[in-house]
Amino acid sequence: MAPNALSTRAQQSFFGIAVFQAFVVIAMVAVTFNKVEDHVDLTLARYKTIPCYLALFILAEFFELFMAFDALRLRNTIQLLGILIFHGALIVMSALQVHETRSALVTNPAANWTTDYVNGGGPGTLWQSVLPFLIVTPVVIGVSWLAMMWVVRELYYEFGWAIFHIVGANPAAKTMYQYYQIMICLLKFDFFAFVGVTMQLLILVLQTNSAEFGLTVAAIPIVLVLLVGAGLAVQREIKWLMSISLVLMLAAETYFYKLVRFYEPSSSTTYGNVRATLTTFTIIAFLLLFATFAIGLRCFADFDKGLLKSKLHGQSYKQMDSSSKMGLFGGKKEDGYGAGQPLGPRVSIE
C-alpha cells in the first residue's frame, strides 16, 4: 500500500505552512493588482509588469503546493530540499518585484498625491499605497522559509527509512536511487522555470503578430514533450528515449539566446521594466536545464544495474513506525534499526 501524505504532525505542519503562505502572498499580490488596475491602463507596455507579477506568483504558489504535497506523498527528502531552494528563489523574485513595480509606476518621484497621484513617488501616491503590500510578500515568504527549514529537519529523519526500505542497505543502490530522485525533481522545476519565462515573454513583450511570438508558442509543446519523455525514459530505463532527451536538452539551451536580446540597444524599450526578473528567470532556467542534463548522464550510466523495479514500485512500502526513524544516510534515531518491520524488495548491484 502506498503511504498516505499528511499522516504525521510534521507533514501536516509543512503543508500547512505552504498553504498559509500561498494564501497570504496571493492575497497581497491581488490587492496590489486591484489598486493599480483602478488607476492605470494595464495594456500599456510600462504597466504590463503588474499583471505578470500577479500571474507569476499565482503560478509559483500553486506549483509549490503541488510540489509540497507530492514530496510528502512520495516521502521524498530530496524534493523537500528542492522546495527550500525554490522558496529562497521566491524571496529574491518578490524583492525584485518591488523594484520593478516602482519602475513601472513612478515617473515623477518628487510628486505627492495632491499633484500627481498616479505617477508620483511621494506621500499619498499610488506607489505608496501599494508599497506595504509589496513588502509583506517577501517578509511572509522569508518567515515561512525559516519555519519550513525547521520542519524539514524532522521530516528528514521521518523519511529516512524510505530509501532503505526501497533499495535495501546497499550504499551503491542508495546512491543511484538518490540520483534518480534528483533527476525527477529537476524535471519538475524545469517545467516551472520554462513556463515562468515563457509566460513573461507572452504577457510582457511579444506582439501576437510577430515571428518571435509564434516561435515562443511553438516551443511550449516541444519542451513539455521533452520533459515528459525524459521523465519516462529515466524511470523505465528506455535508452533510446533517454538518448534523444539528452540531445534535445543540449539543443534547448540555445533557446536562451533571448538573454542576449534583453540587453541589446534595440530592445531597451521592450524589455526595460522587466529586465531584472526576465534575466533572473532565464539564468535559473538555463542552469536548471544544464544540471538536468548532467544528472541525466549520471542516471543513464546507472541503467541496467538492477534499479528498475525500485523505480517502478519504489513507493509501495509501509510507513515506518514513529519509533523507528533513521536518517537518510543511516543515522539511527530513537529505537531500532527497523523495529522488526519486513523489508521491501532490494536491488542488487552487479
Type of residue at 128: Q
Q: Which of 170, 154, 134 is nearest to 25 (CA)?
A: 134
| Residues 243-255 pLDDT 10s | 999 998 888 777 6
Half-sphere exposure of 277 (CA within 13 A, CB side): 31
The C-alpha atoms of residue 274 and residue 276 are separated, in whole angstroms, by: 6
Residues ≥6 apart with Cβ < 8 Å to 175: none
Query: Does the pLDDT of residue 94 top 70, yes or no?
Result: yes
Please count the residues of the chain. 350
How many C-beta atoms lie closer than 10 Å to residue 263's C-beta?
Answer: 11
pLDDT for the residue 342:
43
* Higher pLDDT, residue 234 or 269: 234
- For the entire predicted model, the pTM comes to 0.79
Whole-number pLDDT of residue 8? 87
pLDDT digits over 160-203, tens only?
666 556 655 567 777 888 888 899 999 999 988 888 888 877 77
The yes-or-no verdict on residue 43 having pLDDT over 90 is no
Rounded to an integer, what distance in angstroms lies between the CA atom of residue 3 and that of residue 317?
Answer: 7
Concatenated DSSP letters for 150-202?
HHHHHHHHHTHHHHHHHH-S-HHHHHHHHHHHHHHHHHHHHHHHHHHHHHHII
Rounded to the nearest 5 degrees, what angle is found at the Cα of 11, between the Cα atoms of 141 and 167?
115
Spatial distance between the Cα atoms of 85 and 78, rounded to a whole number of angstroms: 11
User: In the predicted model, is pLDDT for residue 345 greater than 70?
Assistant: no
Q: Mean per-residue pLDDT for 78-102? A: 89
DSSP state of 204: I
Report the Cα 283 to chain-centroid distance in Å.
Answer: 14
* Chain Cα centroid distance, residue 304: 30
CB contact at 8 A, 216 and 201: yes
Question: What pLDDT is attached to residue 330?
Answer: 42
pLDDT tens string 103-149: 888 888 888 888 888 888 888 899 999 999 999 999 999 999 999 99
Instruction: Quote the pLDDT of residue 344.
Output: 44
Cell numbers for 157, please give them. 529523519
Query: Which of 325, 260, 319, 252 is closest to 289 using CA atoms?
Result: 252
Instruction: Please report the DSSP string for 70-120 in residue order.
Output: HHHHHT-HHHHHHHHHHHHHHHHHHHHHHHHHHHHH-SBTT--TTT-TTTB
- Alpha-carbon gap, residue 225 to 192, rounded angstroms: 14
The phi-psi region of residue 319 (left if phi > 0; otherwise alpha if psi is between -120 and 50; otherwise beta) is beta
Instruction: Round to the nearest angstrom and report the end-to-end CA distance of the chain.
Output: 29
Q: What are phi and psi of 114, to 5 degrees?
A: -75, -25
What pLDDT, on the 0 to 100 scale, is given for residue 347? 42
Domain residue spans of the chain: 8-158, 169-314
| Phi, psi for 229 (deg, rounded to 5) | -65, -40
SS3 label, residue 317: coil
Q: How far apart are CA 68 and CA 247, in angstroms?
A: 30
Give 321's pLDDT tier (boundaries 50, 70, 90).
Answer: very low
Helix (H, G, I), strand (E, B) or coil at 112: coil
Taking residues 289-317, what's their average pLDDT? 81
Cβ–Cβ under 8 Å, residues 51 and 203: yes
In terms of Cβ atoms closer than 10 Å to its own Cβ (0-12, 13-18, 19+), residue 76 is buried
> Is it the case that residue 235 has pLDDT exceeding 70?
yes
- Of residues 231 and 282, the one with the higher pLDDT is 231
pLDDT at 111: 85
